[in-house]
Amino acid sequence: MSSDQPSLPSGDSVCPGCQAEESLLLPCGHNLCQSCLQLCQLELGQDQQRCIQCYGRDLLDSVLKGLLDSLFKGQPRRVGSGSDLGLEDSKEGKDRAADGKVCAKHDERLTLFCEEDEELICSQCQDEEHKDHKCNSTEEAAQECKEELRSALKPLQEKLETLNTAKQNCQETAEHIRRQAQHTVRLIKADFEKLQQFLRDEETSMLSALKEEEEQKSRKMKEKMDRLGDEIMYLTEIINSTEEAMGSDDIAFLKNYKKTSERVDCRLQDKEETSGALIDVAKHLGCLKFRVWEKMQNLVTYTPVILDPNTADVCLSLSDDLTTIRFTDEEQQLPDNPERFCYYECVLGSEGLGSGRHSWDVEVGDSSEWALGVVKENVIRKEWFPLSPERGMWTICLYGGEYRPKNATSAPLVLKKKPQKVRVQLDWDGGRVMFSDASDNTMIYKFKDKFTEKLFPYFSNSCKRHFLRILAEKISVYTE
């Protein structure tokens, strides 16, 4: 049935004309029986689809409009809600009163925006209360305010992008922590298998410590990701609500502009990367056998320096026992944590060395490019710079076939033979870093300085064919 034809009789409809129970539903929404409908068509014409009720209402509206036009002919008309004329129930009056476009005080349309008070006004408001204020049309003011909000949104959008990137980095770091923990667990189990059953209690203890650290650091990383997620949601809500406000009509936009602007003008603290986020693998794996030497002295080897994989450049591959360094062309997918070096193919020892004397031997073998020494903990790690004591680095290197100390002069060293093993000695109290051939203790070079903080062993290898290895020392156990 088409929309302009009467519907079938409704069971509970009554004709208002003759009170007949079987009436038809007309397109206008009123009910008439067939007889009354024919009478309406005789009165209004066959082409009319409305009833007498609709026709009477239209006729009354037309008469009222004619009277009002005659009454106010030649006089200025002002926009009103209709309440002054007793027309509160008219649809047009209700619409004007509800849309907020009429001044409540003067009953005139709001056509201006006061920049000083940041509010919508009419022309009479400007003449009375805002006479000395700068006022613009609503169209101009809306455009200016939208431009201000666009400028204010730009840093928030950039901040949102930064937070999303930070959250992605946290997710990648959390995954790396998980892989580190799994890999460390495998290595710990492998070593304990060699120590037989009577070492199982020690194995359980170490695994428990590792698990606790993994949970602690994973929990901290999750909390950080949750905080980033909350800030992302907060900024997203601000941006979405601001963009929604900017998409509304000028009057609604300007009425809420001050509140919207205050929400946009938020301050979030920049996130700072914190050190120590990764698993301290060296603590769990370093000198593992040495810690149980009382029971397994025949199997124990002690390495004076353990490498810290969290500081290693992405081009370096470390052995499972954290004593061997290999250079690889294929960069590893590792987090760019604050401890990790860039631009130098190097890695640090896991523990800082302070007061006293310290020594370790490094097998350099046939490696064609290497560097050894000690560095300060706060040495620059994310950019390239010349290695020197002034930069907190006391090192020697083999590069381009020449042995050189990394200092102001950096003149080539003349050696009688090519060392296969280099001994590094640190006399922290005496302020000396010495390098010698471990095979015969022949001095290669010596730095003299004054140390005020802990120093970390430094290792660099950029030779693709050969590795560097920190040599283990044989331990003898004596009891009294």
39, 320, 370, 395 from 326: Cα distances, Å: 104, 12, 11, 19
pLDDT of residue 446: 94
Contacts of the segment 255-260: beta carbons below 8 A, 24+ positions apart? 255/100, 255/120, 257/118, 257/145, 258/118, 260/149
Q: Name every residue whose Cβ is closer than 8 Å to that of residue 199 and which is 6 or more positions away in sequence.
A: 192, 292, 295, 296
Q: Which two tokens stand for residue 141?
A: 């003011």
Q: What backbone torsions phi and psi does residue 324 show, to the nearest 5 degrees? A: -120, 140
pLDDT in tens, 7-65: 545 445 677 667 777 677 776 767 777 777 777 766 666 555 556 667 666 666 665 66
Cβ–Cβ under 8 Å, residues 341 and 412: no
User: Of 107, 77, 81, 109, whose CA–CA distance to 94 is shortest?
Assistant: 81
3-state class (DSSP) for residue 451: coil
Mean pLDDT of 331-354: 90
* DSSP state at residue 6: P
Q: Which pLDDT score is estimated for 85?
A: 42
Report how far residue 180's alpha carbon sits from residue 273's, in angstroms, rounded to the nearest whole number. 20
Q: Identify the pLDDT of residue 292.
A: 66
Q: What's the whole-model pTM score? A: 0.58
Q: What residues contact residue 39 under an 8 Å CB cut-off, 6+ apart?
A: 17
Which tens digit of pLDDT belongs to each residue from 132-183?
888 888 888 888 888 888 888 889 888 998 899 888 888 888 888 998 899 8
Of 112, 130, 129, 131, nearest to 121 by C-alpha is 112
Between CA 71 and CA 66 the distance in angstroms is 9
Q: What is the pLDDT of residue 294?
A: 66
- Give the Cα separation of 62 and 355 in Å (integer): 104
What was the pLDDT predicted at 425? 97
Burial class (CB in 10 A: 0-12, 13-18, 19+), 197: exposed
Name the more confident of 383 and 316.
316
- Under 8 Å between Cβ of 328 and 316: yes
Q: Are the beta carbons of 456 and 449 closer than 8 angstroms?
A: no
Q: Please list the residues that pair with 443 across neighbouring strands.
A: 436
Instruction: Kindly report, residue by residue over 78-103, the tens digit of the pLDDT.
Output: 444 444 444 444 455 445 544 678 88
Q: Which residue has the higher pLDDT, 175 or 270?
A: 175
Residue 247 reports pLDDT greater than 70: yes
**What mean pLDDT, rounded, does the chain reach?**
82
Per-residue CA distances from 214 to 62, 167, 182, 202, 307 (Å): 82, 19, 10, 18, 20
Query: For the chain, how many residues are written?
Result: 480
* Chain Cα centroid distance, residue 80: 52
Query: Do 433 and 424 contact (CB within 8 A), yes or no?
Result: yes
pLDDT score of 477: 62
Phi/psi for 154 (5° steps) reads -60, -50
Mean pLDDT of 366-374: 95
Output the six-digit token pair for 53.
């009720």
3-state helix, strand, coil in the chain (%, to 5): 40, 20, 45
Amino acid at 43: E
- Six-digit token pair at 435? 């390098």
Specify the long-range contacts of residues 408-415, CB closer than 8 Å, at least 24 apart: 413/444, 413/445, 415/444
Higher pLDDT, 334 or 19: 334
Percent of the chain with pLDDT over 90: 32
- Which whole number is the average pLDDT over 221-243? 89
